[in-house]
Amino acid sequence: MSRIFSLDHRVIGLQYLFTAMAMAIVGGLLALLIRIQIAWPDHDYSWIAVVLPAGFDSGIMKPEFYAALFTMHGTIMIFFVLSAALIGGFGNYLIPLQVGARDMAFPRLNALSYWIYALSSVVILASFYVPSGPAASGWTAYPPLSALKAAIPGSNLGQDLWLVAMALFIVSFTLGGLNFLATILAMRRPGLSMLDLPLFSWSMLFVAILGLLAFPSLTAAAIMLLFDRHAGTSFFLPAGVVLSGDLIPGGGGSPILWQHLFWFLGHPEVYILMLPSLGITSDMFTVFTGRRVFGYKSMVVAMALISGMSFLVWGHHMFVSGMSPFLGSAFAVTTTLIAVPSGIKVFNWIASLWNRPLRLTTPMLWALGIFSLFVTGGLSGIWLGQTQVDIQLHDTAFVVAHFHIIMAGAALFGVFAGVHYWFPLFFGRMMSERLGIAHFLATFVFYYATFFPMHMAGLEGQIRRVYDPYQYEYLKPLAAMNGFITWAAIALAVSQLLFFWNFFTSLRGGSPAGVNPWSAASLEWTESESEGSPEPGPLSAAVER
Amino acid sequence: MVEAQHTRAPGNRLWGFMLESPGNGGRLAAVFAFLTLVFVVWSGYAIATSVLPPLAANRGRIDAAISLNLIISGVVFLGAHLALVLILVRRPREARIPRENMRIEVLWTVLTAAVLIGLLINSEIDARALGSRETGPEEPLVVEVVAQQFAWNFRFPGEDGILGRTDPKLVDQAELNFIGLDKRDPAAEDDIVMPQSLLILPEGREVVIRLRSMDVIHSFFVASFRVKRDAMPGLATEFSFTPTATGMFEIACAEHCGLGHYRMRGAVEVVPRGEWLAKIKEVTE
């Protein structure tokens, strides 16, 4: 029992990591279903319908099921996979070790935060099993679509469960954020200054601040939306809504209010996912070039600027919503200028690697992959930050390409870098470099093969979230490209088997890691040395048996 | 090198050749550098040769801005990835470590900021131009666009130039009164209500779109016109453009609006100015 309901930050970190891995499988399979539908919409998928009878009608996917797929894919991947793995997983395990504390400041709160996260995962998964289906209003849940039950089948119980799951998730990450903040600021080993910390710990500090300030906005919005749905309020419902011929009573609210509240969380959330990866990348460059990353202090300043500015850019999601053009101009300025601190990071990285002997280990490869993704995705972000360019590209596949490369891709690569790098710390064994390299190279190639062509699809006008793009004459020529993307996505998914194989076989069969196998200088590795014996994570004992 | 133990395990034939010298990555660096180069060439070629849908309105500024962005980001993209390739293939055995140089950091920060500010100024000039009306003597043509699940309703004000009153209570789908037009209002008498999801516009005359929604959020997107604007329930917004080519263009809904989102398709037919009125009469009668 004590191993399951443990207060040990290392156990809790691994619990987060394993839960996130399980959720990643769900989210990934949803993505594959989305892709095969976009590429070959009229195909008979009776073989999938055997597993998911509710989603198909005589072998053809239902449009409402498709909407549920992209809604749940986005929600699960952003919150339940990437946030959970990077922050819950790595954050919990590593912060106390990197700052030289015995544990988190509040171990009980920490355990509670994991169990609330686990509960919210159960709630979001349970919504697949309600008769009207899971939420289907997109991960952004824009009302009135998400407020009115008659607007879309998923806007029934599925949407309620989605809102409850989000509220629980936020509670969990608020507790976690408080803990991180207290631990980093107040529990550092005496003599260890903030400027001695690895950049990963710095990124966690900023993530905690962002989370604490941004998440409450969505909590409030979620509760208001629940009220709109069940208590007869109209926070987000204007007067005079007529849905399939019926006048909806109430009114006086504004659907655009939801967008402000949602994106006030939503955009910092993007950086919540990015910052840990940026921190990990810098730390990998430190370890595998054998010298502290170039411009360490300016990296900290850049992260602080990115974090601060991330609160001032949310309106770029609403350039075409009809809000005042003055607001549009203001948000264009903040959005575009966030590329300045991002640029500082890129230049510092180049300077860190230039003329240095690199050790090309698997974690280092992932970090170099993040470098590439951060450049590619950052540049398309500048495009979308300009209002006139956004008019054409808003809500097209170009946006899908952009955020999958920068936010999802960089975060995902960060998870892989971190798992490979800290695996010896977690389990006392090494993961296979051979499989790791194969996994990296395949993922790098197929990730770009999947997401880069979406830029072109978007430029040619392919809109997002469409169940069948070929209803439009002008999108019919894109069928071949969409087929290519889907094959690449399938290859990308298959490549991930290498990771799972590597991970689970290395748990028992990996070569013993010894102390500090990467010759790193940060405190999480020296901790074991000082205690005289390599002390791998607590779960490895269970694995041994 | 403790990490090398694992990688030098026997039976490492498939990938082992890359791991022969774990100190500097051996051929792995070459493979990764090669893949990066392939990606840069392929993606650069693909995006530079992709084309926007043919332009059919006075919004070529957007195309120009996209080209400008393509060039600037192309240079940065190429530069950063070439740096990555060089880093991978050069790898000296001894580090030649640059000193932390504040001047260089300031220089590249200022350079980045200058380029971005240039783009922003360009964006602001474009946004103002795209948001303002033409200054000809001719009155623009007003069209009300009302989105609903999953169709587009179009209405011209008629000769009086005034759109008649609407009331959501009067919506009657059986009577094809989808927008709740109040027929008792005198201003409504000459309103021209188009058949659903068909809009006919004259070539070369400025159009002011008054956009709203009956139910959920939709988005009015005509790729060839470089026009996109959300249709918000409870909020009417206006924007204008001038069609510059005749032909049929598709209207797409760009905001997820329900299970029929993918088929919320409309058509704009742009006809020569002289034929416009006759064409409108033809389809409304």
CATH number of the structural domain spanning residue B241: 2.60.40.420
Gap between the Cα atoms of A250 and A241, Å rounded:
9
* DSSP H helical ranges for A338-462: 339-353, 362-385, 387-393, 397-403, 410-427, 433-459
- The answer to whether residues B121 and B157 belong to one domain is no
Domain boundary, last residue among B91, B110, B131: B131
Are A388 and B254 in contact (CB < 8 Å)?
no
Q: Is A496 helix (H, G, I), strand (E, B) or coil?
A: helix
Give pLDDT tens digits along chain A (545 positions): 467 889 999 999 999 999 999 999 999 999 999 999 999 998 899 999 888 888 898 889 999 999 999 999 999 999 999 999 999 999 999 999 999 998 999 999 999 999 999 999 999 999 999 988 999 999 999 999 999 999 998 889 999 999 999 999 999 999 999 999 999 999 999 989 999 999 999 999 999 999 999 999 999 999 999 999 999 999 999 999 999 888 998 888 999 999 999 999 999 999 999 999 999 999 999 999 988 898 899 999 999 999 999 999 999 999 999 888 899 999 999 999 999 999 999 999 999 998 888 889 999 999 999 999 999 999 999 999 999 999 999 999 999 999 999 999 999 999 999 999 999 999 999 999 999 999 999 999 999 999 999 999 999 999 999 999 999 999 999 999 999 999 999 999 999 999 999 999 999 999 999 888 998 988 898 854 444 333 444 444 444 33
- The answer to whether residues B146 and B275 belong to one domain is yes
In a domain, B27, yes or no: yes
Set of chain B residues whose Cβ sits within 8 Å of the Cβ of A348:
105
How many domains does chain B fold into?
2
In a domain, B78, yes or no: yes
Gap between the Cα atoms of A12 and A115, Å rounded:
9
- The answer to whether residues B119 and B146 belong to one domain is no
The ipTM value here is 0.93
In a domain, B75, yes or no: yes
- Do the beta carbons of residue A306 and residue A342 sit within 8 Å? yes
B259: phi then psi, degrees, rounded to nearest 5:
-70, -20
- The answer to whether residues B111 and B233 belong to one domain is no
* DSSP H helical ranges for A394-432: 397-403, 410-427
Cα–Cα separations (whole angstroms), residue B163 to A188, A303, B241 = 69, 53, 19
Joined tokens for residue A527: 């901790």
Distance from A305 to chain B by nearest Cα, in Å? 13
Set of chain A residues whose Cβ sits within 8 Å of the Cβ of B99:
none
Distance from B67 to chain A by nearest Cα, in Å? 10
- The answer to whether residues B280 and B172 belong to one domain is yes
Gap between the Cα atoms of A168 and A174, Å rounded:
10
Residue B134 neighbours by CB distance under 10 Å: 12
User: What secondary structure does DSSP assign to A133-188, as a single string?
Assistant: -S--STTTT-TTTTT-GGG-GGGTHHHHHHHHHHHHHHHHHHHHHHHHHHHHHH-P
In a domain, B3, yes or no: no
Domain boundary, last residue among B66, B100, B131: B131
How far is C-alpha B211 from the geometric centre of its chain's CA atoms?
A: 18
- The answer to whether residues B57 and B156 belong to one domain is no
Gap between the Cα atoms of A500 and B208, Å rounded:
56
Number of cross-chain residue pairs from A and B with Cβ atoms under 8 Å apart: 340
Gap between the Cα atoms of B153 and A479, Å rounded:
29
Q: Is A372 helix (H, G, I), strand (E, B) or coil?
A: helix
In a domain, B232, yes or no: yes
In a domain, B164, yes or no: yes
Cis peptide before B150 (omega within 30 of 0): yes
User: Which pLDDT score, from 0 to 100, does residue B98 have?
Assistant: 61
Joined tokens for residue A292: 């502290």
In a domain, B136, yes or no: no
Q: Any bridge partners for residue B266, and if so which? A: B251
Gap between the Cα atoms of A169 and A173, Å rounded:
6
Are A136 and B259 in contact (CB < 8 Å)?
yes
Distance from B207 to chain A by nearest Cα, in Å? 17
Are B95 and A357 in contact (CB < 8 Å)?
yes
Joined tokens for residue A344: 């500082």
| HSE (side-chain half, CA atoms, 13 Å) at A49 | 13
In a domain, B257, yes or no: yes
A230: phi then psi, degrees, rounded to nearest 5:
-125, -20
b/e A256-265 (16+ beta carbons within 10 angstroms → b): bebbbbbbbb
B227: phi then psi, degrees, rounded to nearest 5:
-125, 130
How far is C-alpha B186 from the geometric centre of its chain's CA atoms?
A: 40
Domain boundaries, chain A: 1-192
Are A389 and B93 in contact (CB < 8 Å)?
no
Domain boundary, last residue among B106, B131, B156: B131
Q: Is A545 exposed, middle or buried (0-12, 13-18, 19+ CB in 10 A)?
A: exposed
Which amino acid would we find at residue A141? Answer: A
User: Which pLDDT score, from 0 to 100, does residue B138 have?
Assistant: 87
User: Which pLDDT score, from 0 to 100, does residue A217 have?
Assistant: 93
- Do the beta carbons of residue B213 and residue A145 sit within 8 Å? no
User: Which pLDDT score, from 0 to 100, does residue B97 have?
Assistant: 62
Q: Residue B79: which residues within 8 A CB-CB, separation 6 or more?
A: none
User: Which pLDDT score, from 0 to 100, does residue B95 have?
Assistant: 66
User: Which pLDDT score, from 0 to 100, does residue A533 have?
Assistant: 36
- Residues in chain B with pLDDT values less than 50: 1-24
**Structural domain of residue B106, as residue ranges?**
16-131
Residue A524 neighbours by CB distance under 10 Å: 21
- The answer to whether residues B190 and B115 belong to one domain is no
Q: Any bridge partners for residue B209, and if so which? A: B143, B239
User: Which pLDDT score, from 0 to 100, does residue B99 have?
Assistant: 64
Gap between the Cα atoms of B7 and B2, Å rounded:
10
Are B252 and A382 in contact (CB < 8 Å)?
no
Set of chain B residues whose Cβ sits within 8 Å of the Cβ of A325:
127-128, 131
Write down the CATH superfamily of domain A1-192.
Answer: Cytochrome c oxidase-like, subunit I domain (1.20.210.10)
Using the Cβ of A289 and the Cβ atoms of chain B, whether some distance falls under 8 Å is answered with yes
